[in-house]
């Protein structure tokens, strides 16, 4: 979600979003410092490689969710939240290192991927080391709860990624299976981030559950948005190679909706293009998605998830985190609208 929440200047953001960006600023500064300190925990032989992966130019969406779900007031920076944010971000970065091996991706955030920089073999192990260090940080909390939650969530994320890998180029996948896959691979860590934020800040159990529910639905919405970016985004703005989902045969909601709408004959042709990784066939698929207005249906699906996310927060409107959480949902909605405009224009 380029430009949504990151450490680059926020001058292009509309007022509301600039506000959220500025408000989590002190937390992000503390997170930066924390992550830099973590580099020294790695064995000297791999420290530079770890530092390369822990680079801070990412969107930091999961840390943002930890911070705002546990919000106590402006300028209040809790060590526990910073540490939890560090854990979820490192787990996420580890999964990216492994994802980029499988996707044979060269570029992420306008830099070479770890797989491209150090080779895929070293990148497998480097991802493992990042996972391990994330769990090590989790074990520094007084109780085992954070470790248990993060280890369980990580296992689920991996399960979702395995489903995705095994079903690549398989156009028989159902919408229910797709939903289950993104629940695991994306929504799980969003959910855990919100749960941890609310829990570690000492909010009551009913709000912790609402935060959990919010994180889950925002995660689903975000994954569908990410699916959409891959086919209508502009590469130079997003900072990563686009069209890779199609090229690598990843089953995304736009593709699934396309397959649902076309004739059996066209479906077979798309399936063949996917299996062969045929560039012309894939370009044609992207063209067809535009013709059939697939983006509109995808946006409807995102809006529905954002609505569900927000609805669960209604009973807690007076709690400090809620306005910020709703603002994050609105930001994603606005980001989707921008993308949709460019898709229609393109």
Separation in Å, CA 148 to CA 81, 137, 219, 315: 17, 12, 20, 29
Report the residue from 129, 173, 262, 269 that binds a copy of itself according to the rule CB under 8 A: 129
Report the residue from 156, 169, 267, 333 that binds a copy of itself according to the rule CB under 8 A: 156
Question: What is the phi/psi pair of residue 107, to 5°?
Answer: -130, 135
Which of positions 83-112 make contact with a copy of itself (CB under 8 A)?
95, 98, 101-102
Is 169 a binding residue for a copy of itself by CB under 8 A? The answer is no
Window contacting a copy of itself (CB under 8 A); options: 11-19, 36-44, 51-59, 216-224: 36-44
Window contacting a copy of itself (CB under 8 A); options: 67-75, 131-139, 291-299, 332-340: 131-139
DSSP 186: I
Nearer to a copy of itself (CB atom), residue 99 or residue 230:
99
Is 2 a binding residue for a copy of itself by CB under 8 A? The answer is no
Is 39 a binding residue for a copy of itself by CB under 8 A? The answer is no
Query: Could you tell me how far CA 190 lies from the centroid of its own chain?
Result: 8
Contact assessment for residue 72 and residue 133, using Cβ atoms and an 8 Å cutoff:
no
Rg (CA), the chain: 20
Window contacting a copy of itself (CB under 8 A); options: 138-146, 205-213, 219-227, 285-293: 138-146
Is 155 a binding residue for a copy of itself by CB under 8 A? The answer is yes
CA distance 60 to 322: 19
Contact assessment for residue 146 and residue 120, using Cβ atoms and an 8 Å cutoff:
no
**Smallest separation (angstroms) from a copy of itself to the CB of 121:** 4
Closest CA to 23 of 66, 56, 68, 87: 68
Report the residue from 16, 48, 121, 314 that binds a copy of itself according to the rule CB under 8 A: 121
Window contacting a copy of itself (CB under 8 A); options: 6-14, 42-50, 54-62, 105-113: 42-50
Task: Please report which residue ranges of 142-263 form alpha helices under DSSP H.
Answer: 145-166, 175-182, 188-200, 205-232, 235-238, 244-247, 253-261
Q: Could you give the string, one character per residue 225-254, with x where binding to a copy of itself holds by CB under 8 A and - elsewhere?
A: ------------------------------
Window contacting a copy of itself (CB under 8 A); options: 137-145, 286-294, 299-307, 335-343: 137-145
Is 154 a binding residue for a copy of itself by CB under 8 A? The answer is yes
Is 42 a binding residue for a copy of itself by CB under 8 A? The answer is yes
DSSP 78: -
In 3-state terms, what secondary structure has residue 310?
Answer: helix
Nearer to a copy of itself (CB atom), residue 136 or residue 333:
136
CA distance 264 to 290: 19
Is 126 a binding residue for a copy of itself by CB under 8 A? The answer is yes
Show Cβ contacts of residue 295 under 8 Å, excluding neighbours closer than 6 positions. 228, 232, 254, 289, 339, 340, 343, 344
CA distance 31 to 25: 10
Q: Which residues bind a copy of itself (CB under 8 A)?
A: 41-43, 45-46, 49, 95, 98, 101-102, 118-119, 121-122, 124-129, 131-133, 135-136, 138-144, 147-148, 151-152, 154-156, 158-159, 161-163, 165-166, 180, 184
């Amino acid at each position: 979600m380029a430009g949504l929440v990151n450490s680059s200047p926020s001058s292009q953001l509309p007022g509301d979003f600039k506000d959220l960006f500025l408000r989590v600023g002190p937390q992000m500064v503390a997170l930066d410092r924390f992550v830099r300190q973590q580099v020294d925990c790695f064995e000297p032989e791999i420290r530079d490689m770890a530092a390369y992966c822990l680079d801070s130019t990412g969107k930091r969406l999961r840390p943002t969710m930890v911070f705002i779900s546990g919000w106590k007031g402006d300028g209040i920076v809790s060590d526990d939240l910073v540490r939890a944010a560090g854990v979820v971000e490192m787990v996420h970065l580890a999964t990216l290192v492994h994802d980029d091996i499988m996707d044979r991706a060269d570029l992420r955030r306008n830099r070479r991927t770890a797989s491209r920089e150090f080779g895929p073999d070293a990148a497998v192990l480097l991802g493992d080391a990042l996972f391990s260090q994330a769990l090590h940080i989790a074990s520094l909390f007084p109780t085992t709860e954070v470790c248990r939650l993060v280890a369980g969530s990580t296992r689920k994320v991996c399960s979702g990624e395995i489903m995705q890998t095994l079903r690549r180029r398989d156009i028989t996948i159902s919408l229910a299976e797709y939903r289950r896959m993104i629940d695991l691979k994306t929504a799980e860590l969003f959910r855990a981030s919100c749960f941890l934020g609310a829990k570690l800040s000492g909010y009551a159990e009913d709000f912790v559950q609402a935060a959990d529910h919010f994180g889950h639905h925002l995660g689903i919405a975000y994954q569908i948005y990410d699916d959409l970016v891959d086919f209508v985004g502009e590469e130079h703005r997003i900072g990563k190679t686009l069209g890779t989902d199609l090229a690598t045969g990843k089953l995304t909601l736009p593709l699934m909706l396309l397959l649902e709408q076309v004739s059996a004959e066209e479906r077979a042709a798309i399936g063949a293009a996917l299996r062969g990784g045929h560039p012309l066939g894939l370009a044609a698929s992207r063209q067809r998605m535009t013709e059939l207005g697939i983006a509109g249906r995808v946006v409807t699906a995102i809006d529905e998830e954002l609505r569900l996310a927000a609805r669960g927060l209604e009973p807690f409107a007076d709690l400090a985190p809620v306005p910020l959480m709703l603002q994050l949902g609105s930001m994603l909605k606005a980001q989707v609208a921008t993308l949709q405009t460019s898709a229609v224009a393109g």
